[in-house]
Amino acid sequence: MKALEIKQLEKCYGNGFVALKGIDLDVHEGDFFALLGANGAGKSTAIGIVASLVNKTSGSVRVFGHDLDKEPEAVKRCIGLVPQEFNFNQFENVFDIVVSQAGYYGIARGKALERAEICLKQLDIWDKRAEASRMLSGGMKRRLMIARALVHEPKLLILDEPTAGVDIEMRRSMWAFFKKINAAGTTIILTTHYLEEAESLCRHIAIINKGEVIENTDMKGLLEKSVEEVFVLNLENHVEKVPDIPGCTICVVDETIWQVSVRKDTGVHTLFNELNNLNIKVTGIRNEFNRLEQFFLKLVESKKDEIGV
């Protein structure tokens, strides 16, 4: 079963700007799917259309088999959206915010109270239930947005930059939570600027660039496509002549720091064997980028070259 099926989706804003140029996208039930792209690529527009916040110009959207044009209410019931901006009433208390949301979906009051309690406990903000939402920290506000999005037990959860501005510790605990609900059956679509987040959570990935899907694949396949890994090496001593090592490109950053791109088919062990033979001692090494980040930058750059930007 497909959780989301987008065909030839186009969005032209009132000012004539074409934000989506006929995109196709499938997300399967149970998937954890990353939608990536630079600012202005069209991610929020696509998500906004699926969540009925933005009107499409043409194309079709189906969510768990329901057509957005023919059964918009059924589509809405399937979706829990966590938008980037906090959009709850700052003066309403935490519990009421979640209960009212259940009301929008026609959930009876008794059940709504029960669901609100479950969601707030899941997100670990049950003890804040009587506080006005404006009193919460940024991280707690994020968790309130997630609790609210889950109150009607959506089959598809859409997270738009869910951990923006969240400290690293809370980000990790949110990741664990997303993994848990995904394992329990909720399909998740995530947009994020933290490519590490996509790499560690998602099984499939689509990259949007200037309103077009330029990559749509599984995460493993994508990472295998990256041909180079970049390392930063700290050397024990300054090396006068930079060696020529096949399959490696060495860039001198500083007296004792090199940035080395190693082709995957060469392998990092070749680099170290050669440095060892040349008696060049390495005192530290780290990956310059995570692999997805590196791939993403290359892909977007190659598209820029193609269209001559």
Q: How far is the CB of 210 from ligand ADP (least distance, A)?
A: 8
* Calculated CA dihedral for residues 128, 130, 136, 139, nearest 10 degrees: 40
279 binds ligand ADP (CB under 6 A): no
Least separation in angstroms between CB 15 and ligand ADP: 5
String marking each residue 103-122 x if it binds ligand ADP according to CB under 6 A: --------------------
- Candidates 25, 34, 42, 299; binder of ligand ADP (CB under 6 A) is 42
Q: Quick check: 85 binds ligand ADP (CB under 6 A)? A: no
When asked if residue 213 is in the footprint of ligand ADP (CB under 6 A), the reply is: no
**Which residue matches tokens 């892909």?**
299
Q: Please tell me the distance from the alpha carbon of residue 291 to that of residue 121, in angstroms, as a whole number.
A: 36
The answer to whether residue 300 forms part of the interface with ligand ADP (CB under 6 A) is: no
Name residues whose C-beta falls within 8 Å of residue 264's C-beta, 6 or more positions apart in sequence: 226, 227, 228, 229
Conformational region of residue 181, where left means phi above 0, alpha means psi within -120 to 50, and beta covers everything else: alpha
Q: What are phi and psi of 49, to 5 degrees?
A: -65, -45
193 binds ligand ADP (CB under 6 A): no
Q: How far is the CB of 90 from ligand ADP (least distance, A)?
A: 24
Nearer to ligand ADP by C-beta: 47 or 239?
47
| Residue 19 Cβ vs ligand ADP, minimum distance, rounded to whole Å | 4
Window 43 to 82, contacts with ligand ADP (CB under 6 A):
43-45
Buried b (16+ CB within 10 A) or exposed e, 170-198: bbeebbebbeebbeeebbbbbbbebbebb
Q: Which is nearer to ligand ADP, 42 or 162 (CB)?
A: 42
Contact predicate 193/263, CB 8 Å: no
Number of H helices, E strands in the chain: 10, 14
91 lies in the site for ligand ADP, by CB under 6 A:
no
Name the nearest CA neighbour of 209 among 83, 288, 298: 298
Stretch that binds ligand ADP, among 15-23, 26-34, 226-234, 277-285 (CB under 6 A): 15-23
**CB-based contacts of 286, cutoff 8 Å, min separation 6:** 231, 232
Q: Which stretch binds ligand ADP (CB under 6 A): 13-21, 55-63, 151-159, 277-285?
A: 13-21
Confirm or reject binding of residue 243 to ligand ADP (CB under 6 A). no
Q: Give SS3 for 253.
A: strand
Site for ligand ADP in 21-40 (CB under 6 A): 37, 39-40
- Judged by beta carbon, residue 41 or residue 107, the one nearer ligand ADP is 41
Q: Using the rule CB under 6 A, is 230 a contact of ligand ADP?
A: no
Which residues on adjacent β-strands are paired with residue 257?
Answer: 234, 254
The residues binding ligand ADP (CB under 6 A) are: 13, 15, 17, 19, 37, 39-45
